[in-house]
Structure formats: C-alpha cells, structure tokens
Structure 1
C-alpha cells in the first residue's frame, strides 16, 4: 500500500478523522451504523493497490468530532472530498453507509462516479414492529450500561438475522463486531454526556426516496438472503427506483455483506468498479 495518509479534516464546524491511500480513481468507503473506519481493515489496503481509497469516521463516530449543531452527513462527505482535493469518487456504502451514499448521490450528483450499496438502509422506511421492538430493547440496555445484552440483541437481529443464530456465525467476526459496536455505544454515551444531544437527533436527512429517479450513475445493490426482511425490501426498492440500477442476491449472507466474506465482497467490488469505469469511458 502506498501513500498512506491519516489526518483530521476541518469539515462544517467539526473535524472528521480520515485515511487516504493509493493512487488512481477515488473510492470512498463508508462505515456501518455501529462501525467506524476499522470495518474496512484489509479491504482498504487491498483496494489501495489500484485506487485512491478514502475511509473516514462519520460525525459522531470513531475519532471524528461530536455533533453539536444540525448537520447533514452527505454535506460532510462533500466537504471532506473538497479538503482532499477529490472532485468525483466511486462510493461504497454498507447498511448505514449505504444510506449516506444514496443521500450524497442525490444532493451532490456530479461528484459520484458510481454507487455500490451493500444491504443499505433508509430513513424513509417504515420498519416492522419486530425491528422497532428489538431496537427499543437494545436502546434501553445501552443506556443501562448493559452492553453485552444490548449486543446480543443487535448482533442477533442484524448480523445473524432471522434465519440464523449467533452460534451459526464465525466467532472471529462476532468478536470483532462486539469490539467495534461497544466502542460505538461508549461514543454515543460520551456524546450525550458532553453535548446533551444524540448524534442522529441533529442530523438533517433529505427525503432521498422522492429523488431517486434523478440519479444517473452506475449502481449495484447487494442483497443478503439471510438479512432482515426490512433490509431486503429497502435494497429491492433502491434497485427498482434508481434508473439503471441492478440488484445481486447473495442467498447465504446476511446484513454484514462486506464483512462476512470480505474476499468475495472485494471481488464483486473490483468487478463493479471496473465495469463502471468502462461504462463512463464509453459515454
């Protein structure tokens, strides 16, 4: 891996921690809702062999600044790219990161070369009672300081999914996710203690669903057959409503498509990025 740079970018009144490495076309790696830059360990380095790869902690996550005023994650990404001197990029987003990727494409369409969405979620989606019940139970446990039980609910719901149990999952993956998610819980509690605000309470979220038809970028949506039905529905809707988008189903994977079998995801990502570049060159 070449030209590995780390730093803190002044962005819209805060600082975002970022890493950049490699050379070539720019690729942005967004993280999941209980994640940070570390979810891309290994894949970041691999992609940097052929691309300029940027990964960063969103506002309120990892080493980035606390949110203390209204903000928009898509605008934060645009400002980060400005800071790095990057005009356009391929954007890869899993789960929560997929939501930000879509919002970025809607608000800053000229800056997106392609979208690769892995089990994306959406703020506009009406979640089922089961998902909402699990989320509320997890929240109660987080604020009670019982992280282990909170993680049992979160990982059982979103990593194993409705068709598997945590015992079915790779224990190394589960251990890694527990570390990352526990750090996320701690960060949320510190944010509230120091600012009085939950990170997502201050986030301004555009109604991206109404503007999906305006997108004109190559888009691939990866959908895990073992994922929550809600997430499958969101992925299918995005693939249907974004012009020219395609969906690829991976029957034996769940929500954490990028992490369950990282080498397989890398192969799919590389193939898609190459195809998107060829399509752009042919226009």
Structure 2
C-alpha cells in the first residue's frame, strides 16, 4: 500500500458480521467499494492520493478480504452493511465510487439512500436486474465461451483454473490476448481473487443469497439525481452502462483506452486525475 500517515483501521460490528475498514485523510467523505474479484487493496493506487483532499474510506465487503461472512442466520443486505458502516464511522453523506460488483452496489445504495450520496462514480459496474440477451451473447462468442469455461471450473472446484480464466476474461479483457495486461496488475488481481475464492467459508457464502434491491436498478436509473461519472474500459467485456448511461440524468461517461475491467489499476495516474477533476467540478 502507498504510504499514508495516520491511517485509522478496525472492524465494524454490523449486521451479524465484522467489516474491516481503513480511513485516511480529512475533508468530505469518499468511500471506495472494491469489485467481487478483489478486496480493499485494489485501491492501493488511489487511497493515499485521494486522502490528500478527502476523508477516504475503503473496506472489505462481507465475505471478502479480512471481513467476516456472517455470525447469525438473518438475511443480509450489502446495502445495509454499507449503511451501518457509515453510521459506525459517523458519516452523514459521502461521495461513492465502486468497481464492477462494487459499482452495482454503489448504484443500488444510491437508489435506496439518495440522501446519503453526494456523487456517484460507477467503474466498469454492473446494474442490478440486467440480464444479457441471447443476441448479445451471440454477438460476443468469445465472452460466452469464457463464461461457460469459468462455470465449468467452479463446478469442478478447480480454483486455480477459475482464477486463470477470470484473469483472461476481465483483467486482460476480450479485446486483448491472454496475459497481455501488465504482469503486475494480473498478479495483484490473481492474489486477491485466489484469496477470496479459497476462503474456508466460500461454500457457505455460495449458499447465501443477499437481499436484492426491489425494484432493481435497471428499472430506476432515470431517478438517480446525484452527479454521476461512469468510467469504462475500452477493452472490457460488454458493459450495460455503455448504453444505459443516457438514462441517468446528466451523467458523464468516460471510456479509458487500452484498459479492460480494472482501469484504475492499469492506468492509475490517468484514472485518478479523471476522478479528481470530476469531484473538483462539483459545487461545495
């Protein structure tokens, strides 16, 4: 992790689990939500940089990194986990940025708690309720085959093979040859993905079903009223927000060249400047 002075770390007891978090800097709260291949360390190139201007919070979602899974039998909501974490840290509202599955969570949270979000930055994010059509899969046969191979690897409990396929699919992206992304980025993602998928509670996690947002985001994007910046990778798998961005009023969209699913890790300096410029353009 980049050097950051006075980092506050700890565990928040929320909703029958423990969420590990790190906080640095002062200023307006800015929460970073990792993707579902990753953990909080994926933001290493952003954490210290953004902490120079903001109070930056990054955390491991339930079942990822150093956070727990569950200590009871009650249903859980990732949105409620984030809500309780904000209460625990005394955060009244924040800028919210999430990547991939974390981006989908950021969108859902904004819809459920619009009063708590001052700006939204979904990065290569999913959209709850979105289902790729058969036509889309036919138009992208390489992606469809890779998804099938990934599911086969999981069914055979071959984690190493599943991780390799996920790296080809998301870190390299279908627009590049396998292992064409920067080696250091691939190995960082490999380490985090492997750790997540090899957790001893992984089988329990597979049997748990978080409470979905109802109605899902796909039906409500037009109601998002906060300033929104959508960031995509030009070499990523097809992303619904590339076409749905227009449904979010006044949303800005940037597609970063020569990056796939993790543009913030592949081109951190460019990515950071894009985000800082966007936040700096907001009215205090």
TM, length-normalised to structure 2 = 0.89
- Cα contact 1:26–1:86 (8 A) shared by 2: yes
CA distance in 1: counterparts of 2:236 and 2:255, whole angstroms = 11
The residue aligned with 1:41 is: 44
**SS of equivalent to 2:76:** coil
Choose the corresponding residue for 2:167, options 139, 152, 155: 155
The residue aligned with 2:188 is: 176
**SS of equivalent to 1:123:** coil
- Cα contact 2:233–2:260 (8 A) shared by 1: yes
CA distance in 2: counterparts of 1:251 and 1:245, whole angstroms = 19
Q: Deviations over 1:65-95 (max 9, x none)?
A: 2145421111111110000000000001111
Specify every segment of 5 or more residues in structure 2 that has no aligned partner in the other structure, as ranges.
none
Give the alignment's Cα RMSD to 1 decimal.
1.8
Pick closer, same or farther for the CA change 1:191–1:156 going to 2, 3 Å.
Answer: closer
Matched, 1:248 2:257: no
Work out the number of aligned pairs and report it. Answer: 270
Matched, 1:222 2:227: no
Choose the corresponding residue for 1:209, options 213, 218, 221: 218
* Larger helix fraction of residues: 1
Choose the corresponding residue for 1:83, options 88, 93, 111: 88
Shift of 1:157: 1.0
The residue aligned with 2:110 is: 105
The residue aligned with 1:190 is: 201
The residue aligned with 1:96 is: 101
**SS of equivalent to 1:10:** strand
Q: Deviations over 1:202-239 (max 9, x none)?
A: 2112112222222210001012111112x1xx122442
CA distance in 1: counterparts of 2:49 and 2:83, whole angstroms = 24
Matched, 1:10 2:13: yes
CA distance in 1: counterparts of 2:75 and 2:281, whole angstroms = 37
CA distance in 2: counterparts of 1:227 and 1:208, whole angstroms = 21
CA distance in 1: counterparts of 2:20 and 2:151, whole angstroms = 26
**SS of equivalent to 2:281:** helix
TM, length-normalised to structure 1 = 0.89
Shift of 1:102: 0.1
Q: Which moved more, 1:48-57 or 1:146-155?
A: 146-155
The residue aligned with 1:138 is: 150
Choose the corresponding residue for 1:117, options 115, 122, 133: 122
The residue aligned with 1:26 is: 29
Q: Which moved more, 1:68-77 or 1:56-65?
A: 68-77
**SS of equivalent to 1:263:** helix
- Cα contact 1:2–1:49 (8 A) shared by 2: no
The residue aligned with 1:167 is: 179
CA distance in 2: counterparts of 1:184 and 1:69, whole angstroms = 22
- Cα contact 1:66–1:191 (8 A) shared by 2: no
CA distance in 1: counterparts of 2:58 and 2:232, whole angstroms = 22
- Cα contact 2:97–2:103 (8 A) shared by 1: yes
Q: Deviations over 1:23-72 (max 9, x none)?
A: 00000000011111110113101111111000001111111121454211
